[in-house]
Structure 1
Amino acid sequence: MWHRGGVQNSGPVDVDLALVGGGGAASLVLAALDRHGVDGLRIAVVDPVHRRGQDRTWAFWDRPGNDLDPLLSASWRQVEVTTGTGRRVLDLSPLRYAMLRSAPVYARAAEAERRLGVRRVSAGVRSLDDDGDRVVIGCAGPDGGPLRASWVLDSRPCPPVRPGRTTWLQHFRGWWVESDRPAFDPDRAVLMDFRTPQPARGVSFGYVLPVDDRYALIEYTEFSPTLLSGRQYDEALGRYRDLLGLDPARLRVREVENGVIPMTDAPFARRPSPRVVRLGTAGGATRPSTGFTFAAMYRQADQVARALAEGRAPVPAPAYPGRHRWMDAVALRALDRGLVGGPEFFARLFDRNPAERVLRFLDGATTPAEDLAVMRSTSLLPMVAATAGDAVGRLRGRLRRSAVPVGATPAPVTGSGVDPAPGDAGDR
């Protein structure tokens, strides 16, 4: 059954654009379509859950003065990076580090839905059958029905095309805490605090995102191959709270956030068939070396909307240049094999480069010359070893794939068993 403006319709429905998955990536697309004045399109959102309220927090960097400004919970022009050798206060100008909670994003998307006349289908998706001209969407659930779309934007989590040479996870737990007296500096965020105990294999750090002097998100994060138990996350957060000098008797935990984001050099199929385009993590928006996703999702949404406004196919450009994906693969390998230490690796990046260059590099916006400067700031011999190992790994992978007989069906690719976010991917 189809619902639009309170009217129930039966029978097949044809649309120009279907958004499969209704979370952050789809919400950004809807807002961008509205912002760019795209009209006359028949649009559907297919998701068993209609997302509202605060279910996640995105942190990212950008330039002030865009349409996100009124939605932000907080932003900072200065951040701290702390290692065992000291604390660095980084001036991000002309960029800012920003925090955006999901409720205003979902609310803006709901307004765009109304203005665009979007059909919302409360159903899961069993199949996408793309014949090169239209996509038949097989829906599951009591509200499901036959749906045909000219284009499908799919933001559901999915496994990569094939396993990566290195696969880690960014996993974290955060407490939204309220203090009964001033306890935070609202003008400065803690981006990475490496004074946390480091895991045997991986990197850990804490960070603090203050909304005001009494209210902040404090979080414990690990980059590692395996998850922790709930008790271990709470213990790590408690230790980090104490390290910050916060008195637990004066704090109240108002909310708890958890997240898991893939960090892998495995390739994802951005366009698995002619008229199906993937967004979010499944579309390559997650930066393998950091897990940050939001800025690339925002770019994808804007590119999709611009293309549709100009009558072009809604296919965004790759989220990051190929050379950056290669550099990320090398960095992940160096961290995974213990060739470099995580705190040392990130400390050298920020010590030997302007903060604005590092952030633009992580967003995929640096020039080749700037990329070379970033590479020179890392430890030379370990990174040479990681580069050689990555090259050997790539060669072995190509040889294995070329050895598969013609017509043979490759073994299925399995993921970590953890979805970064139900309905669509990307939390950072």
Structure 2
Amino acid sequence: MPASSPVDVDLALVGGGGAASLVLAALDRHRVTGVRVAVVDPVHKRGQDRTWAFWGTPGGDLEPLLSASWSRVEVVTAAGRRVLPLDPLRYAMVRSAPVYDRAAEAERRLDAVRIGAPAGELRDDGDRVTVCDPEGRALVRAGWVLDSRPRKPARPGRTSWLQHFRGWWLAAEGPTFDPGRAVLMDFRTPQPERGVSFGYVLPVDDRFALVEYTEFGPALLDDAGYDAALRGYAALLGLDLSALRVREVENGVIPMTDGPFVARPSPRVVRLGTAGGATRPSTGFTFSAMLRQADEVAAAVAAGRPPVPAPAYPGRHRWMDAVALRALDRGHVDGVEFFARLFDRNPAERVLRFLDGVTSPAEDLAVMRSSPLLPMTGAVLGDAAGRLRARLGAWRPGDPVAHQRA
């Protein structure tokens, strides 16, 4: 329930999901002391409600929390199966329960205040931010607010797709899965008219695995559609569903758009997670960028600096994502061919680093050269024309023209 008078803190986390949980753990890891922290969320996240997968090097703070990790993964097309060795990287899976548990431990050590109420407007006067409930009552006054609540982009993108998926956690009585390698993308699934689909398998051991169906595209399926797609993919894998038990079901929808997410909507409010641009538009990957954001925020707080992370991805990557989305959406390139060429013509480490947004400009050029040249050139020109039209649409005849010095 909201307090009768607002709580006064140095740092308020609005939203208590994955992004906030990683920030709390990072503040604890950086041994932040003397900073008053509040968490504002009507739900105290606990248990298994999602799974995150990411690339990284072995070791590090998340190592004890991992459910599984793999030093090689598979990319499968109708033409065959490609096994990708990932050294020195590895693909890792962490489930939500240990992440939430660690955040709760960090919250206790930080002596954070938890406000179990929904947040509404954030009123930033440039010196302090007042976090209000939906009725306008003040809950918290903070020096800085980190807001990870989901939201739409500031304006619609020129291309707006969704990564949407359903996964079954399947349990078997006997050895069924290969725990030595994960299936990253299996493109043998029936392809939608617009977009691309693939299956994916993350085995925890030989008797328990997440089997998932994913689509990139403009429209969602209904429940029956996802279940039918999963049954079809299980058949492709040779799994006998009558001999397996669906222990859990996971669903998700992630934006894939070149529409802008404003990471700094006011002087003392910083957005994190998808709302802060952590989702890679061309793939939907988010977790690695959230990890970076959390560590940068905690390092800044520990040093007495403003808790403002760097942009999640370089500007050139956002441009490349916009071009790739346009090419896929307009049918300039075939989705399966696009991703298959990406893995066929680049070392696995380069692809994974690119998808995480940490490649150098030289590596980015190598990735671009692996794409179909003529179709992607058309997408580049179309993207440039779209940007020009958007600028001209924002300028109306009679508006003053700003003169720039040459």
Cα distance in 1 for partners of 2:338, 2:363 equals 17
The aligned residue for residue 328 of structure 1 is 321
CA contact (8 A) 1:124 1:141 kept: no
The 5 Å alignment of 1:223-234 reads: 223-234=216-227
SS at match of 2:393: helix
Give 3-state SS (helix, strand or coil) of 1:328's partner. Answer: helix
Determine the structure 2 residue equivalent to 1:63.
57
Q: Distance in 2 between matches of 1:251 and 1:89?
A: 26
Aligned: 1:100 with 2:94: yes
Q: Determine the C-alpha separation between the residues in 2 that align with 1:102 and 1:404.
A: 53
Q: 2:73 aligns with which of 52, 57, 79?
A: 79
1:187-202 mapped onto 2 (5 Å cutoff):
187-202=180-195
Q: 1:138 aligns with which of 132, 136, 139?
A: 132
Other-structure match for 1:237: 230
- Which amino acid is 2:185 matched to? M
Q: What amino acid is the match of 2:53?
A: A
- One-letter amino acid of the counterpart of residue 94, structure 1: P
Equivalent residues in 2 for 1:253-292, closer than 5 Å: 253-292=246-285
Preserved CA contact (<8 Å) 1:123 1:140: no
Where in structure 1 are there 5+ consecutive unaligned residues?
Answer: 3-8, 407-428
Q: How is 1:26-175 mapped onto 2 (pairs within 5 angstroms)?
A: 26-140=20-134, 145-175=138-168
Q: Distance in 2 between matches of 1:127 and 1:162?
A: 19
Q: Does 2:34 correspond to 1:16?
A: no
Distance 1:104 1:403 in 2: 53
Whether the 8 Å CA contact 1:270–1:277 is kept in 2: the answer is yes
How many angstroms does 1:145 deviate by? 4.8
Distance 1:204 1:146 in 2: 44
C-alpha distance in 2 between matches for 1:405 and 1:252: 67
Alignment check: 8 A CA contact 1:157 1:281 kept: yes
Instruction: Note the alpha carbon deviations across 1:148-189, whole angstroms, 9 max, x for none.
Output: 110000000112111100000000000000112211110100
Q: Is the 8 A contact 2:121 2:134 kept in 1?
A: no
Q: TM-score, normalised by structure 1?
A: 0.91
Residue identity in the other structure for 2:106? A
Greater Cα offset, 132-141 or 184-193: 132-141
Tell me the SS of whatever aligns to 1:168: strand
Q: In the aligned structure 2, how far is the partner of 1:12 from the partner of 1:247?
A: 57
User: 3-state DSSP class of the match of 2:133?
Assistant: strand
Name the residue aligned to 1:308.
Answer: 301
AA of the residue aligned to 2:119: V
The answer to whether the 8 A contact 2:163-2:215 is kept is yes
Give the total of aligned pairs.
400
Partner Cα separation in structure 2 for residue 403 and residue 244 of structure 1: 57
* In 2, Cα distance between equivalents of 1:20 and 1:314: 14
Aligned to 1:393: 386
Q: What root-mean-square deviation, in Å, do the aligned CA atoms of Structure 1 and Structure 2 show?
A: 1.5
Give the letter for the 2:324 counterpart: A
2:332 corresponds to 1:339: yes
Tell me, what secondary structure is at the counterpart of 1:178? strand
1:403 Cα deviation from its structure 2 partner: 2.4
Aligned AA (2:35)? L
1:39 alignment partner AA: T
State percent identity of aligned pairs.
Answer: 75
Change (3 A) 1:254 1:404: farther
* SS of residue matched to 1:73: strand
Where has structure 1 moved over 4 Å in runs of 4 or more? none
- Offset of residue 13 of structure 1: 2.0
Distance in 2 separating the partners of 1:405 and 1:324? 35
The higher-RCO structure (CA 8 Å, 6+ apart) is 1
Q: Is the 8 A contact 1:122 1:141 kept in 2?
A: no
Alignment of 1:404-415 (within 5 A): none
Which amino acid letter does the alignment assign opposite residue 386 of structure 1?
A: A
Deviations 1:365-391 (A, max 9, x none): 111111110000010000000000000
Q: Deviations over 1:223-263 (max 9, x none)?
A: 01000000000000000000000111211110000000000
Partner SS, residue 133 of structure 1: coil
Q: What letter matches 1:151 in structure 2?
A: W
Q: Is the 8 A contact 2:120 2:135 kept in 1?
A: no
Give the secondary-structure state (helix, strand or coil) at the position aligned to 1:89: strand
TM-score normalised by the chain length of structure 2: 0.96
CA distance in 2, matches of 1:36, 1:295: 18
Aligned ranges 1:363-402 → 2 under 5 Å: 363-402=356-395
* 2:376 maps to amino acid: M
CA contact 1:123–1:141 (8 Å) conserved in 2: no
Match of 1:207 among 194, 200, 220: 200
The letter of the residue matching 1:385 is G
* Gap runs ≥5 in structure 2: 400-406
Distance 2:35 2:324 in 1: 43
Query: Any idea what the Cα deviations from partners look like across 1:250-309, whole Å, max 9, x if unmatched?
Result: 111100000000000111100000000000001000000100000000100000000000
**2:97 corresponds to which letter in structure 1?**
A
Once the two structures are superposed, residues 281-338 of structure 1 have per-residue CA deviations (whole angstroms, 9 ceiling, x without a partner) of 0100000010000000010000000000011000000000000110011000000011
Instruction: Give the distance between the partners of 1:355 and 1:214, measured in 2 at CA.
Output: 28
Distance of 1:240 and 1:102 partners within structure 2: 25
Structure 1 counterpart SS, 2:120:
strand
